[in-house]
């Protein structure tokens, strides 16, 4: 089995300090959380950014500032900036995170419209075609975010048509968002069985599903995402003090199950990314 790639989704667009005071907003807080995750064993940081008051933003300048500061603290890390942003943002607004220098190695590409709690996360076909075109033009490897079973079929069809980057594809199955595909091992197996040979995959279990899904992925040869974007607690009623604590729990699970954890450079090889110029 390949080594385990752990992604930390350190911030998200929806969670707040009221829910967990360690949720980062400022550049300094975002760097602190990225470093805690990388020091604990994360190879990848999935990045959203906020203004200092916590408002989610896709501002190119804010991404630039945060990415530069993170690379200073964690020179080897793979950053996956969000192109999902927050519900209600326009496609152009969301795409700003692909405009930073250096061009991001990867970025998320959300694979369809879905319920998102009380709201609708809008990803129309024209939006996805525009995002695919941008990533093809800039040589950005997408992380294909599938919240629903049908999202996988949608993106595989688009890849066959050359509308989004093709093999080797990296999928992130986000399971347990209220209103979307439930976080069950059966659903995860269905998704994993439907991806093309040679692809890589990660699972994100929302809330209480984080660690059961992590354990399943560790056993199945997949990869794991945790972090405040997805889960605020280390266990029921125990808020995590940092993203690093969430990552450390995945590292412990991996150790118990006999799976080694990948460094960022090892993750680049597994994902088919070129070595990063430093
Ligand atoms: N904030 C969610 C509406 C992504 O990063 O690409 C979308 C999201 C997905 O977080
Ligand atoms: Zn995200």
Q: For the chain, what are the domain ranges?
A: 6-271
Over residues 113-162, the pLDDT tens digits come to 999 999 999 999 999 999 999 999 999 999 999 999 999 999 999 999 99
Average pLDDT over residues 40-50: 99
CA distance 247 to 262: 13
Average pLDDT over residues 34-44: 99
Percent of the chain scoring above 90 in pLDDT = 99
Please provide residue 169's backbone torsions phi and psi, each rounded to the nearest 5 degrees.
-95, 145
Over residues 193-242, the pLDDT tens digits come to 999 999 999 999 999 999 999 999 999 999 999 999 999 999 999 999 99
Average pLDDT over residues 20-37: 99
CA distance 228 to 207: 9
Q: Which two tokens stand for residue 120?
A: 């609708």
Helix axes 185-193, 149-160, angle to 10 degrees: 10
- For the entire predicted model, the pTM comes to 0.99
CA distance 81 to 9: 10
| Any atom of ligand 1 within 6 Å of the Cβ of 230 | no
* 87 Cα: distance to centroid of ligand 1 (angstroms): 8
pLDDT score, position 182: 98
Answer whether residue 278 shows pLDDT above 90: no
Find the largest Cα–Cα distance for the chain: 47
| Any atom of ligand 1 within 6 Å of the Cβ of 143 | no
Those residues whose C-beta lies under 8 Å from the C-beta of residue 56, and which sit 6 or more positions away, are 13, 14, 48, 49, 50, 85, 86
Over residues 97-127, the pLDDT tens digits come to 999 999 999 999 999 999 999 999 999 999 9
Q: Which among 14, 22, 95, 112 is positioned nearest to 59, based on CA atoms?
A: 95
Answer whether residue 188 shows pLDDT above 80: yes
* 153 Cα: distance to centroid of ligand 1 (angstroms): 19
pLDDT score, position 150: 97
- Indicate the pLDDT class of residue 277, thresholds 50, 70 and 90: confident
Residue whose CA is at the smallest distance from ligand 1 atom 1 = 86
- Indicate the pLDDT class of residue 260, thresholds 50, 70 and 90: very high
CB atoms within 10 A of CB 186: 7
Average pLDDT over residues 163-172: 98
Helix axes 149-160, 125-138, angle to 10 degrees: 50
Provide long-range contacts, Cβ within 8 A and 24+ apart, for 185-193: 185/212, 185/216, 187/149, 188/213, 188/216, 188/217, 188/220, 189/220, 190/149, 191/146, 191/149, 191/152, 192/220, 192/222
Over residues 64-107, the pLDDT tens digits come to 999 999 999 999 999 999 999 999 999 999 999 999 999 999 99
Q: How far is CA 12 from the centre of its chain?
A: 9
Average pLDDT over residues 12-35: 98
CA distance 256 to 195: 28
Residue whose CA is at the smallest distance from ligand 1 atom 9 = 84
Residue whose CA is at the smallest distance from ligand 1 atom 8 = 84
Q: Within 13 A of 271's CA, how many CA atoms are on the CB side? A: 32
| Any atom of ligand 1 within 6 Å of the Cβ of 97 | no
Those residues whose C-beta lies under 8 Å from the C-beta of residue 236, and which sit 6 or more positions away, are 208
Answer whether residue 21 shows pLDDT above 80: yes
- Indicate the pLDDT class of residue 276, thresholds 50, 70 and 90: confident
CA distance 42 to 53: 27
In words, the CATH class of domain 6-271 is: alpha beta
């Amino acid at each position: 089995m390949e080594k385990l790639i752990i992604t930390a989704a350190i911030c998200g667009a929806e969670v707040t300090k009221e829910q967990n005071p360690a949720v980062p907003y400022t550049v300094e807080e975002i760097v602190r959380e990225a470093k805690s995750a990388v020091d604990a064993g994360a190879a990848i940081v999935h990045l959203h950014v906020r203004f200092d008051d916590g408002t989610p933003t896709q501002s190119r300048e804010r991404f630039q500032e945060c990415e530069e500061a993170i690379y200073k603290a964690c020179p080897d890390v793979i950053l996956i900036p969000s192109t999902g942003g927050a519900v209600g943002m326009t496609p152009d607004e969301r795409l700003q995170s692909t405009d930073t220098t250096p061009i991001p190695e990867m970025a998320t590409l959300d694979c369809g419209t879905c319920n998102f709690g009380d709201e609708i996360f809008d990803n129309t076909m024209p939006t996805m075609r525009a995002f695919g075109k941008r990533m093809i033009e800039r040589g950005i490897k997408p992380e294909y975010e599938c919240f629903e079973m049908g999202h996988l079929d949608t993106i595989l069809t688009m890849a066959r048509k050359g509308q989004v980057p093709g093999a080797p594809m990296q999928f992130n199955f986000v399971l347990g968002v209220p209103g979307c595909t439930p976080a069950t091992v059966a659903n995860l197996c269905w998704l994993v069985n439907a991806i093309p040979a040679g692809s890589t995959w990660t699972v994100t279990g929302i809330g209480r599903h984080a660690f059961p899904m992590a354990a399943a992925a560790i056993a199945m040869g997949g990869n794991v995402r945790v972090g405040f974007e997805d889960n605020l607690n280390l266990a029921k009623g125990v808020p995590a003090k940092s993203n690093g604590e969430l990552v450390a729990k995945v590292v412990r699970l991996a150790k118990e199950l006999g799976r080694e954890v990948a460094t960022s450079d090892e993750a680049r090889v597994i994902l088919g990314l070129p070595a990063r110029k430093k």
